[in-house]
Structure 1
Amino acid sequence: MKINFRVNNGSSIKHNFFFVFRNTSTIIIHFNLKLMAILIFILIHWYGSLFFQSVFHHRYAAHNLFTMSKFWEKMFYLGCFFTQGSSYISAYTYGLMHRLHHAHTDKTEDPHSPHNDPNPFVMMWTTRNNYFNLYIGKTDAAEKYKKNLPEWERFDKIAHNYITRFCWIAAYVIIYALLATAWWQWLFLPATVIMGSLQGMAVNWWAHKFGYENYKLTNTSKNILPFDFIFWGEAYHNNHHKHPQRPNNATKWFEWDMGFQTMVFLQKLKIIKIKYQ
């Protein structure tokens, strides 16, 4: 009986090796691209949401640090809606609440002071209740705090609607379902849903608890970072409480206010006009 043995030649082995290598590389690249995509989404959401909260809500609505046309004001409203999504907040109510914060910093009337609450989560809930009561008119404020606040009531009603918020949450779930490659990435979903509130907590809690002081004031405000590349200049809370009507929150040579620099750029584009005190 004759037995024949057949051995694959070298070219066949090479072909199989490169086929496996190519497909493995494709899987790895696809995995890395999806991971990169979800990280980019989280970063864009963080910086986009906080940009509008810092520049539009805080500096424009609350402090009137620059002017712009009604057209651009509405564009900023839309920017808030698309970047804050399910955590959208009214510029009118934010501005009113923030003015009350400056008027009653660290006192019982302060709508969001860590001095009055035991932890950041309780402060978040207190802030939420104070904000909502101001929004629906359950809590009233003196007329002097309501002057020159931007108002687009019809749009706020749409953006504030629970159905609208639910649609945003559903959109976030779909984005994570398409991009998430590991279970731990889903841990960012709750932060995505409450992004605006989370950013408010980070600034208002940390900046009254931890950091350094350039100025000795009668409140607990502090600067979180010496070089603020995370909070659009909102990290300089102590500086801001000292100079609330100053467009640039940075006061020392090593400090850098990214929000103010963006305002300067927007002024060059003739979108806004900064009020220098």
Structure 2
Amino acid sequence: MTIIIFVLVLWYGSLFFQSFFLHRYAAHQVFTMSKTMERITFVLTWIFQGSSYLSAYGYGIMHRIHHAYTDTEKDPHSPSYDANLFAMMWKTKTIYQDINKERITIEERFTKNVPQWKGFDNFASSRFSRVLWLVLYTLFFVFFTTALWQWLLLPVAFLMAPIHGVIINWFGHIYGYVNFKMKNTSKNLFRFDFLMMGEGYHNNHHKYASRANFGVKWYEVDLTYLIIKLLNFLGIIKLKSIKIKS
């Protein structure tokens, strides 16, 4: 039971900060926060993503490129142009690293106001940091595993962020239902997105990229958005007011 709780905490903690910080803040800037709060969120993202930590700068820019070129040859990740999910994720990793290490030229429209903390990112993305988390996760499993099958969850803990990416960027463009017909293959994975905390409403998001709430229908509850609303109410962040054209 301890191992299952541990993996669930990692799953939803990592997912929340990927959705809240990397996606809705860094890429789409649907809300604002103070510089101090931004730095705190960088650290919390590192703590919950651990060995699979993603830079807000690399993620934010790459995601903007994804929206600009969805399902074309310039899309960093598209089932329409990649043979399988492993090929897609390898290409995604290469583009992400090229952006992070500034090995390629990026158009200004993709870099504007994307948060960057170079010093921290260099540490959090370092081999030392990743190996440290791998060792800590393994030690946790050594002490708390009570059944052999639980060891199958260790690779999930190691690769949490890429797994979340595969679910949305691969399966979210193949399976599910559509609320809006567009010139891309984005789908909504679930009627109620309990698994991906709102990220699964991918078709809705591609229709309204700047909307904080990814749910559109009454039953499409966006759990991340509910937390965002609470943080906005508490004054920790400030939601932007965006008019959506129907």
CA-to-partner distance for each residue in 1:8-28, whole Å, 9 max, x for gaps?
xxxxxxxxxxxxxxxxxxxxx
Find the residue that maps to 2:241 and give its secondary structure: coil
1:99 to 64, 82, 89: 64
1:232 aligns with 2:235: no
Q: Which residue of 2 aligns with 1:89?
A: 54
Find the residue that maps to 1:221 and give its secondary structure: coil
1:177 to 136, 142, 145: 142
Q: Which residue of 2 aligns with 1:62?
A: 27
Q: Which residue of 1 aligns with 2:215?
A: 250
TM-score, normalised to structure 2's length?
0.97
Distance in 1 (CA, whole Å) between partners of 2:4 and 2:36 is 33
Q: Which residue of 2 aligns with 1:47?
A: 12
Q: Which residue of 2 aligns with 1:222?
A: 187
- Tell me the CA shift for residue 276 of structure 1: 2.3
Name the aligned partner's letter for residue 234 of structure 1.
Answer: E
- Tell me the CA shift for residue 60 of structure 1: 0.2
Question: Would the aligned equivalents of 1:246 and 1:276 in 2 still touch at CA under 8 Å?
Answer: no
Name the aligned partner's letter for residue 226 of structure 2.
Answer: Q
- Tell me the CA shift for residue 167 of structure 1: 0.6
CA-to-partner distance for each residue in 1:202-248, whole Å, 9 max, x for gaps?
11111100000000000000000000111110000000000001110
Distance in 2 (CA, whole Å) between partners of 1:140 and 1:159 is 23
RMSD: 0.7
Question: Would the aligned equivalents of 1:65 and 1:246 in 2 still touch at CA under 8 Å?
Answer: yes
* Larger Rg belongs to: 1
Question: Would the aligned equivalents of 1:233 and 1:260 in 2 still touch at CA under 8 Å?
Answer: yes
Q: Which residue of 1 aligns with 2:82?
A: 117
Distance in 2 (CA, whole Å) between partners of 1:47 and 1:101 is 24
- Tell me the CA shift for residue 126 of structure 1: 1.1
Listed as ranges, the gaps of 5+ residues in structure 1 are 1-35
Percent identity over paired residues: 48
Aligned residues: 242
Correspondences of 1:140-219 after superposition (within 5 Å): 140-219=105-184
Q: Which residue of 2 aligns with 1:73?
A: 38
Q: Which residue of 2 aligns with 1:14?
A: none
Deviates more, 1:206-215 or 1:267-276: 267-276
CA-to-partner distance for each residue in 1:31-79, whole Å, 9 max, x for gaps?
xxxxx11110010000000000001000000001000101110111011
Correspondences of 1:256-267 after superposition (within 5 Å): 256-267=221-232
Name the aligned partner's letter for residue 77 of structure 1.
Answer: F
TM-score, normalised to structure 1's length?
0.86
Distance in 2 (CA, whole Å) between partners of 1:276 and 1:44 is 32
Distance in 2 (CA, whole Å) between partners of 1:82 and 1:94 is 17
Name the aligned partner's letter for residue 182 of structure 2.
Answer: L
